[in-house]
Amino acid sequence: MMGPAHSLSGAAAWLLVGAVTYSLDRPMPWPVLLVGALICAGAALAPDLDHKSATISRAFGPFSKWLCVVIERLSCAVYKATRKSGDPSRAGGHRTLTHTWLWAVAVGAGFSALAVLGGRWAVLGILFVHLVLAVEGLLWRAARVSSDVLVWLLGATSAWILAGVLDRPGNGADWLFTGAGQEYLWLGLPIVLGSLVHNVGDSITVSGCPILWPIPVGSRRWYPLGPPKPVRFKAGSWVELKILMPGFMLTGALSGLWALGFAG
């Protein structure tokens, strides 16, 4: 799928989680619902770090372009080193390492550890990165015609404000993990979810997605998981634009209302 659809699916997924937790009498504080949805929307772009033309490659100027090149080469090397006899040879690394469950979990765990060990500035950095990505994905038309600096300023300002809101008692810094020193440990969860939702979205397109790696499937370690090929679609096709994106928006809106107690 394309960047806007990935971001919408990520936001909708976190809002759906919020609706589920509300139904289980463990409601999210509204700042957690909001911040988590924005982080998940941004994280849903991150697996495309292995593609130099992806939305994320433009998000942070030359640095993100350079990082995409590095990640693509790393992904290609891992693919070549771990492929089995049934995996085809390939020259690039797109839709390999960063499109797996293991990568999603590792990145989410890394960000959770950074949030706990790095303190306020680490939390601000995590929020800034993912809010910039959320703007690039959810407001992509405006972001395309705006200066990168304006998008970064919006991300930085929003990160500062939202971190201040979360820090207030009862607003969610210690949501789910309430032990001493575990504030913001939950920040890795929307990052994991966003990455996994991205992979599921890619799996229903023509090429499929090797979500299960490194678990082998028959003679393939990089098995492109997906539904039967007749029901798959091309990224950016009318299925994505006319059916999936409106569906994500509707699901997110209804889930958000439920999570806040307005639809129960």
At 153-179, the pLDDT tens digits run 999 999 999 999 999 998 999 998 888
* 95 alpha-carbon distance from chain centroid: 15
Is the separation of the CB atoms in 135 and 151 below 8 Å?
yes
- What is the Cα Rg of the chain in Å? 18
Q: Supply the DSSP symbol for 97.
A: G
| pLDDT for the residue numbered 154 | 92
Site of tokens 């909001």: 34
Cβ neighbours around 169 below 10 Å, total: 7
* Dist CA 1 CA 255 (whole Å): 22
pLDDT at res. 3: 80
What distance lies between CA 175 and its chain's CA centroid? 20
pLDDT tens string 136-158? 988 866 656 567 788 899 999 99
Q: Which residues of the chain have pLDDT under 50?
A: none
User: What residue has token string 């492929």?
Assistant: 83
Burial 108-122 (b: 16+ CB within 10 A, else e): beebbebbbeeeeeb
What contacts 24+ positions apart, CB below 8 Å, involve 224-228?
227/203
Instruction: Please enumerate in sequence order all residues whose Cβ is within 8 A of that of 232, keeping only pairs 6 or more positions apart, or say none.
Output: 204, 205, 206, 208, 226
218, two tokens: 């028959």
**Burial class for 125, CB neighbours closer than 10 Å (0-12, 13-18, 19+):** middle
| Contacts of residue 166, Cβ cutoff 8 Å, sequence gap at least 6 | 31, 32, 35, 172, 173, 184
